[in-house]
A and B are shown apart, each in its own frame.
Chain A
Amino acid sequence: MRVTANTFPNSLLQQLNSLSQRQNKLQNQAATGQRVQLPEDDPVAMHRVLDLQAEGKAVNQYQRNIARLQEVATDSFTSIKALKTVSDRAREISISADGLKSQDELNIFANEVTQLIKRAVHTVNAKNQGDYLFSGTLSDQAAYVMTTDANGNVTGVTYQGNTTLAESEIASGVTLGPYTIGENNSGSGPRGLITDNRVGADFFNHLISLQNNLLAGNVAAIETTDRANLSQDEDNFLYHLGTNGAIQSRLETTNAIADQRTDTLEVLVSKEADADLAETLVRLNQTQTAYQAALQSAGKILGSSLLDYLR
Chain B
Amino acid sequence: MLGLFGTLSMANRSLQTQRAGTEVAGHNLANVNTPGYSRQRVDIDTSIAIPSEMGPQGTGADAVGIQQIRDVLLDRQIVTETSVRGAYEAKQKALQLGQAALGQQIDRQATGAAGSAAASGIGGQHGIAEEMSDLFNAFRGLAASATSMPARQEVIKTAQDLATQFNQVSTRLANLRTSLNDSLASDVAQANLALSDIAKLNEQIVAVEIGTPAKANDLRDARQKRIEDLAKLVNITTTANPNGSVDIAIDGVPLVVGPIVQDTLETYDAGGGQFLVRTVTGGTTLNLTGGTMQGTIDARDNDLTTLQTSIDTLAATLISEVNTVHGAGFGRNGTSGEAFFTGATAADIGVNTNLANDPWMIQAGGVAGAPGDNTVAVQLGQLADVNHAALSNQTFQENYGQSVAALGQALNGTNTQLTNQQLVENMLLRQRDSVSGVSLDEEMTDLIKFQRAFEASAKLIVTVDELLQTVLSLKR
A residues lining the B interface (CB < 8 Å)? 1-7, 10-11, 14, 32-34, 36-44, 46-47, 49-54, 56-58, 60-62, 64-65, 68-69, 129-131, 135-140, 162, 164, 166-169, 172-173, 175, 179, 262, 265-266, 269, 273-274, 305-307, 310
User: Given contacts A10-B433, A265-B122, are A162 and B370 in contact (CB under 8 A)?
Assistant: yes
Question: Of the candidates A11, A44, A266, which one forms a contact with B121 in the assembled complex, judged by CB atoms under 8 Å apart?
Answer: A266
| Residue in A closest to B431 when the chains form the complex, CB atoms | A1
* A269 in contact with B434 (CB, 8 Å): no
Which chain A residues lie closer than 8 Å to B209 at the CB level? none
CB distance from B428 to the nearest CB of A (A): 12
Interface string of B448-465 (1 = CB under 8 A from A): 100000000000000000
Q: What residues on B are CB-neighbors of A64 within 8 Å?
A: 141, 144
What string of 1s and 0s marks CB contacts (under 8 Å) between B133-160 and chain A? 1101100110111111000000000000
8 interchain pairs, CB-CB under 8 A? A6-B33, A39-B411, A43-B407, A57-B137, A168-B143, A173-B382, A173-B385, A266-B122
Distance of A33 Cα from B430 Cα, bound (Å): 38
Chain A CB within 8 A of B64 CB: no
- B429 CB within 8 Å of chain A: yes
CB of B255 within 8 Å of the partner chain:
no
Given A57-B137, A139-B147, answer yes or no on A166-B382 (Cβ-Cβ < 8 Å). Answer: no
Question: Interface residue tally of chain B, by bracket?
Answer: 35 or more
Identify which of residues 353-412 in chain B touch chain A, using a CB-to-CB cut-off of 8 Å: 365, 367, 369-374, 378, 381-382, 384-385, 397-398, 400-402, 404-409, 411-412
Chain B nearest CB: distance from A83 CB in Å? 20
Minimum Cβ distance to chain B for residue A23 (Å): 16
B125 cross-chain contacts in A, Cβ below 8 A? 50, 53-54
At the interface, is chain B mostly helix, strand, loop or mixed?
Answer: helix
Cross-chain contact A47 with B106 (CB below 8 angstroms): no
Do A46 and B405 form a contact, CB below 8 Å, given A129-B145, A169-B140, A307-B444? yes
The answer to whether B122 and A43 have CB atoms under 8 Å apart is: no
Whether A11 contacts B430 in the complex (CB less than 8 A), given A32-B109, A138-B369, comes out as: yes
- Nearest chain A CB to B368 CB, angstrom units: 11
B26 at the interface (CB under 8 A from A): no
| Cβ contacts under 8 Å, A46 to chain B | 104, 106, 401, 404-405, 408
B408, A38: Cβ atoms under 8 Å?
Answer: yes
Contacts of A130 in B (CB 8 A): 147
Kindly specify which of B229-237, B265-273, B317-325, B435-443 makes contact with the partner chain: B435-443
Q: Which of A34, A42, A61, A137 contacts B367 (CB 8 A)?
A: A137
Tell me, in angstroms, the Cα distance from A39 to B99 when the chains sit together: 7
Using a CB–CB distance below 8 Å, which chain B residues touch chain A? 32-33, 39, 95-96, 99, 102, 104-109, 119-125, 129, 132-134, 136-137, 140-141, 143-148, 365, 367, 369-374, 378, 381-382, 384-385, 397-398, 400-402, 404-409, 411-412, 415, 426, 429-430, 433-435, 437-441, 444-445, 448
Q: Are B33 and A62 in contact (CB under 8 A)?
A: no
Report A-chain residues with C-beta under 8 Å of the C-beta of B143: 65, 168-169
- Measured CB to CB, the nearest residue on chain A to B375 is A166
B382 touches A169 (CB 8 A): yes
Q: Which residues of B contact A41 (CB under 8 A)?
A: 408, 412
Query: In the bound complex, how far is the Cα of B408 from the Cα of A43, in angstroms?
Result: 5
Q: Please, how many angstroms separate the alpha-carbon atoms of A135 and B107 in the complex?
A: 45
Interface contacts beyond A39-B104, A164-B370, A169-B382: sample of 18 additional A-B pairs, CB < 8 Å, sorted by A: A4-B437, A4-B438, A6-B32, A6-B33, A7-B430, A10-B433, A37-B106, A38-B104, A43-B406, A46-B408, A47-B405, A54-B129, A65-B141, A68-B145, A140-B372, A167-B374, A273-B108, A273-B123
Closest chain-A Cβ to B284's Cβ sits at a distance in Å of: 36
Q: Quick one: given A273-B106, A310-B444, are A60 and B370 in contact (CB under 8 Å)?
A: no
With both beta carbons as reference points, the residue of chain A lying nearest to B400 in the complex is identified as A50
* CB neighbours of B32 from chain A (8 A): 5-6
Are A37 and B440 in contact, with the CB atoms below 8 A? no
A58 and B136 CA atoms in complex are apart in Å by 8
